[in-house]
Structure 1
Amino acid sequence: MLDGLIERMLTGDKRATARLITLVENDEEKAREIISKIYPHTGNAYIVGITGPPGAGKSTLLDKLIRVAREEGKVVGVIAIDPTSPFTGGALLGDRIRMQRHSTDPGVFIRSMATRGSLGGLAKATADAIKVLDAYGCDVIFVETVGVGQIEIDIVKTADTVVLVTVPGLGDDIQAIKAGLMEIADVFVINKADKEGADATYFELNMMLDLEKERWERRGWRPRIVETVATTMRGIRDLWNAISEHREFLERSGEIERKRQFRAEEEVKTIVSGRISRIVGEKLGEEEISSLIGMVVRREIDPYSAADRILEKALGVKV
């Protein structure tokens, strides 16, 4: 079954591709088998993360970016991370309504995924879904995060270029950037730039970049600031050009290899961590773990010693 689905996916079958993404979302063992089989076909897509607070217009902006990318003949993949439905466990919004005009385009594949409780604005299976779309033949894959502000940092572990979308008049916007997003953004977008306060937002971002001048000089890339009005296409081509410019910088400087090595390292660590958690659960069981936790609460044992005992019993090695 899997071999047939993979063969169809590699020839551009959308239904097979959708089925494979569902499998990597829901079945860890099948995900392992799928990724093992398709991995030699990956590594060709460029991944762009679109992040920022709710209400910034990320979906509308992405809808227009898809249009520009398609005009250049790019095959486009989109993974839109949505909140989880409390009833079905699926993506709350489903495939984004604003992007549905592209659903009949054979050169565009759009998929919504639920966070299922994972933090960082990304679903746990995002990395595997990206690999499926990469093998499917996408030239560029956009990953739109759920939009939860200050915990969107995980996008840096996924994307080659990170686009941070903000809007004028959003009170905690710059505060959120100071909290860590400033360090991961490669391109800043001031969307809805026809609103009052756009100039002030531009000034604040520029000033903050000036304060971090030494960092950008070490990196060799000062993040670009692009003003857009997504509903009218204003600034969209400038944004696409800024993304392309950043890609050229990464490839020219060799930074893209460093980024992808970092991404692979983080992915392997995540897989190892998940496997260890499962082994611990299988070897000890909830009752024994709860007993050790109770000892920590009663101050009979410290947390580090409790963790050592759990790992020693689960893995059979002295830690």
Structure 2
Amino acid sequence: MTGNIDLLARAREGQIAAVARLLSIVENEEPEAAEIVRATHPDTGHATVVGITGPPGAGKSSLVSTLTAAFRARYPRVAVVAVDPSSPFTGGAILGDRIRMRERFLDEGVFIRSMANRGNSGGLARTTKRVVNLLDALGFDIILVETVGVGQEEIEVVRVVETVCLLTIPGMGDDIQAIKSGIMEIADVLVVNKADRPGADRAVKDFAQMMTLGTPRLDWKIPIVKTSATEGTGIDDLVAAIESHGKWARASGDARRRSLDAMRKEVETLLRERILRELAERVTDDHLDRAAARVADREVDPYAAVEELLA
């Protein structure tokens, strides 16, 4: 652990290479990951964490780049965690948002991390929460999490961030159909991006009408913000909406509720992983083969075979 203590110290000093190495250990679940999480967990809970989600083509990466610049003008350190689809060959991130955000590289106050979702459903990688917590512990003020554009089931982001910004754009056809169901229910801020296109006002009206049909979330009225990442319009309004939701969430207890839900999910995930590892150590392939043969020979049923293996 001595080497990791030195690595952690250098990361806390702001050395980019050390930050990147620590993130790789946690993301790849290397043997040292647990010790790093233990050492940094007490320092978490200070950063503002914002999720940017929505259907493919909504302009998430462009908006994240522009939003990063806006937050950077207000805060010393901003981090971006961009989750991309996995390559079917290497398992790495296919698109690499760092390429699309190359104009932010020269800013020492901005750190960008691309993560492969590794086939995980929900728009995020399985270890995204751990990566975000580590960046939080290392002193980043704002952390932007951009999800994979996978559609209406992309709801895991709500367990990772404090504020969820849901993007759409005018002219997608049936705008409401594109983001219906689960993903609509987790939105804290609705963003009509590429608002310089025709139909932006109509999209805003459609969303406003749609929200009157649902059950309001306590006393938070979801704002609808028009933005254009390419022209830089509406960005200040979006930042204000995000900051307003953050203040409400902390005051109302919604942030605490979301944090508890996220931690329960994280503990449950780690518990499952631990149980599976211990079972894998005790139940060998020979055990499974013998159990399968007994089931095939009708000596026992599958449920009884599992009970025997667990015993």
Q: Does the TM-score normalized on the shorter chain lie above 0.5?
A: yes
Aligned length in residues: 306
How much has 1:99 moved relative to structure 2? 1.5
Counterpart CA distance in 2 for 1:254 and 1:92 is 38
The offset of 1:244, in angstroms, is 0.5
Alignment identity in percent?
Answer: 47
Letter in 2 for 1:2: N
Deviations 1:64-92 (A, max 9, x none): 11111111134101100011123322111
Return closer, same or farther for 1:29/1:204 CA change in 2, 3 Å cut-off.
same
What amino acid does structure 2 have at the position aligned with 1:69? F
AA paired with 2:211?
L
Correspondences of 1:212-291 after superposition (within 5 Å): 212=214, 215-216=215-216, 218-286=217-285, 288-289=287-288
Q: Please say which of residues 181-190 and 194-203 is displaced more in the overlay.
A: 194-203
Give the secondary structure class of the aligned counterpart of 1:133.
helix
Deviations 1:23-73 (A, max 9, x none): 112234221111011112221111101101111100100111111111113
- 1:192–1:228: 8 Å Cα contact kept in structure 2? yes
Measured at CA, do residues 41 and 199 of structure 1 come closer, stay the same or move farther in structure 2, by a change above 3 Å? Answer: same
User: Greater share of helix residues, 1 or 2?
Assistant: 1
Distance 1:168 1:43, change over 3 A: same
1:193/1:228 contact within 8 Å kept: yes
* Post-superposition offset of 1:259: 1.4
Is the CA contact (8 Å cut-off) linking 2:54 and 2:179 kept in structure 1? Answer: no
* 1:66 partner amino acid: T
CA deviations 1:230-256 (Å, max 9, x no partner) are: 100111111111001101111221221
1:149 match: secondary structure: coil
Check whether the contact 1:84–1:90 (CA below 8 A) recurs between aligned residues: yes
Is 1:289–1:310's contact at 8 Å kept on the other side of the alignment? Answer: no
Deviation, structure 1 residue 95:
4.0
- Give 1:110 shift: 0.3
Query: Are 2:140 and 1:138 aligned?
Result: yes
Partner of 1:151: 153
Q: Cα deviation per residue 1:250-275 (whole Å; 9 max; x = unaligned)?
A: 12212211211111111111111222
> Please, which of 296, 304, 310 is the counterpart of residue 306 of structure 2?
310
1:161 counterpart (159, 163, 174): 163
Measured after TM superposition, the shift of residue 155 of structure 1 is: 0.6
The equivalent residue for 2:110 is 108
Q: CA RMSD in A?
A: 2.2
Query: 1:99 aligns to what?
Result: 101
**Match 2:90 to one of 81, 88, 91:** 88
Alpha-carbon contact 2:287-2:309 (below 8 Å) kept: no
Task: Name the amino acid aligned to 1:86.
Answer: P
Whole-angstrom CA distance in 2 between matches of 1:72 and 1:293: 65
CA distance 1:118–1:293, shift in 2 (3 Å) = farther
